[in-house]
Amino acid sequence: MTDQETSKASPIEAVGHKIRPVGSTEYSWCKAVPGGTGITVLALLLSKPLNIPLLQSALHKLQIAHPILNSQLYFDPTSSAFSCIISPAPQLQIQTFDLSSTAQILQSNSSHLNSQSISPFHLILEHELNKNSWQNLDPSLETAVFLASLYTLENGRWVLALRLHTSVCDRTSMAALRRGLSGMIGEGAVPLAVERVENEFGLGIENYIPSGKANKPFWARGVDMLGYTLNAFRLANLSFKDTELPRASQVVKLQLNSEETDMILSRCKSRDIKLCGLLAAAGLIAARSLNGIPDDQWEKYAITTLVDCRSILDPVLSSHHIGFYHSAILNTHDVKGGEDLWKLATRTYTSFTNAKRNNKHFSDMADLNFLMCQAIDNPGLTPSASLRTSLLSVFEDSMIDQSKELQQVIGLEDFIGCGSTHGVGPSLALFDTIRDGELDCACVYPSPLHSREQMQEFVHEMKRVLLDGSIG
């Protein structure tokens, strides 16, 4: 842990600091991140040199606009409680790596790989996903939730990596940060969508749930908890390659060109389902194919769908409101051989929408948070102690990006935003974006629980299923 990531000021004695205990969902992430799940990274590949003072100023402006980005985590061992502490002034300092330092990092991260096709940008993304500043929280220190690094590559390229604790940054927050930062370093190329959000630091998602939406009778909560627990032992998974060695998050990509993307989106629209239902169905079919199960045998898989709740909270929050405001809906699906892609997609999406219509994303929030913490504390509650809670996680809504013109202005050649999953979580987490009309998914998985070759084959099979099922 570097000096930039910690501060020795006591939260009790700190002058001008605001302090609050973390919310229940934030607490789940505080429990998960030390084990490796919940490190959010936004990596940007740049072909134009950055003005470091300008970049530092831009990041500080983001912290001022969104105070939670200037907060630190504090762990009290006497109560096993986490608190969030906001400093009165921006604290973030960019950590820079010159060409030599970056080369050493790339070499150490590629030495264990057989493939030579993984780009330096990709390796740095994985390096950041596994750079855990929150692994061993020192009770005497507060730990910053927002960190920035700038890596120097050959041939006039740089990688800017923003690393955040997921308790303060979900996928919508990550997109808002990228837009805001791009606007600022673009020196006025586009209007800047960064505003001060009043009381942004003050409340977690539970405090915004509309009255009555999270209510559940005691007996119903008990039945649901028992159902979730029993189902966990009945779920099928991709085969595990190594359940003993230490784990790290790795990434493979699923990409479609504009014609392919338009084809599947048009067919989704004609059937009134969202892309998340189609991706889930393709994943179920691909997993069953890779596992080599006879056609007449049924397998039960779990799909986690993440819902951005900002638009349905009270009060409604804007997409610029930084924090973690997603909830999860966990559905199980019985799948046999020969399933039709679109029928299965309709079935998976209908299961999700029915659960959402019944407010399961609110009423089950406490249950899923509790079970997540139980799995962390008791890995044996999951298959092969793997900490896998589902086969796939998908987002209800895809991120849409149409910023090619701005990207050219600032020299942004590529970007990837995703979170680590090698603690508790799915076998494959899909972070999908429609970028200028093309589907681009960052697919994160735990290694060596699953191998890169295995997950590349899985994603390739998903793509084949998507395209074969959409033609005609």
Give the whole-angstrom CA distance, residue 116 versus residue 304.
33
Q: For residues 196 and 303, state if they share a domain.
A: no
Residues 213, 260, single domain; the answer is: yes
Helices (H), 245-401: 258-270, 275-291, 341-357, 360-363, 365-377
Residues 296 and 277 in one domain: yes
Domain count of the fold of the chain: 2
The two structure tokens encoding residue 165:
């604790």
Half-sphere exposure of residue 425: CA atoms within 13 angstroms, side-chain side: 32
Q: Which of 305, 38, 324 is nearest to 207 (CA)?
A: 324
Q: For residue 193, give the CATH number of its domain.
A: 3.30.559.10
Q: Are residues 197 and 229 in the same domain?
A: no
Same domain, 92 and 117: yes
Question: Same domain, yes or no, for 303 and 362?
Answer: yes
- 305 and 441 co-located in one domain: yes
The mean predicted confidence, pLDDT, of the chain is 88
Q: Same domain for 81 and 184?
A: yes
214 Cβ contact partners less than 8 Å away, ≥ 6 residues apart: 206, 359, 362, 363, 365, 366
**Which tens digits make up the pLDDT trace of 259-308?**
999 999 999 999 999 999 999 999 999 999 998 888 889 999 999 999 99
**Both 159 and 219 in a single domain?**
no
Q: Check whether residue 305 and residue 266 sit in a common domain.
A: yes
The least confident of 47-51, 267-271, 281-285, 458-462 is 47-51
- Maximal C-alpha separation, the chain: 68
Distance in angstroms (rounded) separating the CA atoms of residues 344 and 348: 6
Q: Residue 38 and residue 73: Cα distance in Å, rounded?
A: 14
**Domain stops at, among 205, 235, 257:** 205
Average pLDDT over residues 198-222: 78
- Among 437, 433, 441, CA closest to 458: 441
Residues 153, 86 share a domain: yes
The domain containing residue 141 runs over which residues?
Answer: 3-205
> Which has more confidence, 14 or 408?
408
Q: Verify that 377 and 389 share a domain, yes or no.
A: yes
pLDDT digits (tens, 9 = 90+) for 339-376: 999 999 999 999 999 999 999 999 999 999 999 999 99
Q: Are strands 18-21 and 157-165 parallel, antiparallel or unpaired?
A: unpaired
CA-to-CA distance for 313 and 205, rounded, in angstroms? 8
The encoded tokens of residue 406 equal 């701005």
Specify the CATH number for the domain of residue 374. Answer: 3.30.559.30
Beta bridge partners of 200: none
How far from each other are the two terminal CA atoms of the chain, in whole angstroms? 55
